Structure 1
Amino acid sequence: MGVHIVMDQTGDSRHTFNPADPQAVEEAEKRFKELTGAGFTAAERTGNGEAQVTRAFNKDATETLFFPRLKGG
C-alpha cells in the first residue's frame, strides 16, 4: 500500500492507494500533481525517519509526505 500524507495548518490527512490498482494509481498521481502544482513540496520516506524531496510521482513509494509552502509574516 502507498500513502500520501498531506500536512497543513490543521494537522495531516492520509490518502492510501493500492499500487497494483491502475485507477487508484491514476487518482494518486492526480493528487500528487495537484498538490505540487499548488506549491506543496513532496518527499518520499527513505527509512529511519528520513525523507528525500521528489519532483516526480512514484507509485512504488511507501509514503510520500506533502509539506505546504512556507508563508512569511
Structure 2
Amino acid sequence: MATLIVMDHSGDSRHFFDNSSADALAEAERLFSEFTGKGYTATVRKGPGEVVKITSFDPAAEETLFFPRLVGG
C-alpha cells in the first residue's frame, strides 16, 4: 500500500491506495493534483534523510508527503 500524507493545521491525514490498481492510481493522481493545485508542496523520500520535491505524481513512490504553503509576513 502506498500513502499520500497531507500535513495541515490539525496534524495530518493519510490516503492509502494500492499502486497496482489502475483505479486507485487514477484517484491518487487526482488527489495529487488537488493538493498541489491548492498550493501544497509534494515530496518523496529517496533514502535515509533524503527528501526530494516533486511536481508530478510518482506512481512508484511508497509515500508522498504534502506540506501546506507557508504564509508569513
TM-score, normalised relative to structure 2: 0.94
Aligned to 2:39: 39
1:9-63 CA deviation, whole Å, 9 max, x = no partner?
A: 1100111111111110010000000000000000011121321000010111010
After the TM superposition, which residues 17-32 of structure 1 pair with which residues of structure 2 at under 5 Å, given as runs? 17-32=17-32
> Higher mean Cα deviation, 46-55 or 56-65?
46-55
**Secondary structure of residue in 2 paired with 1:27:** helix
Percent sequence identity over aligned pairs: 52
Uncovered stretches (5+) of structure 1, i.e. residues with no partner? none
Q: Calculate the aligned-residue CA RMSD, in Å.
A: 0.9
Which aligned segments of 4 or more residues in structure 1 are displaced greater than 4 angstroms? none
Question: What are the ranges of 5 or more consecutive residues in structure 2 without an aligned counterpart?
Answer: none
Instruction: Output the TM-score relative to the length of structure 1.
Output: 0.94
1:50 aligns to 2:50 (yes or no): yes
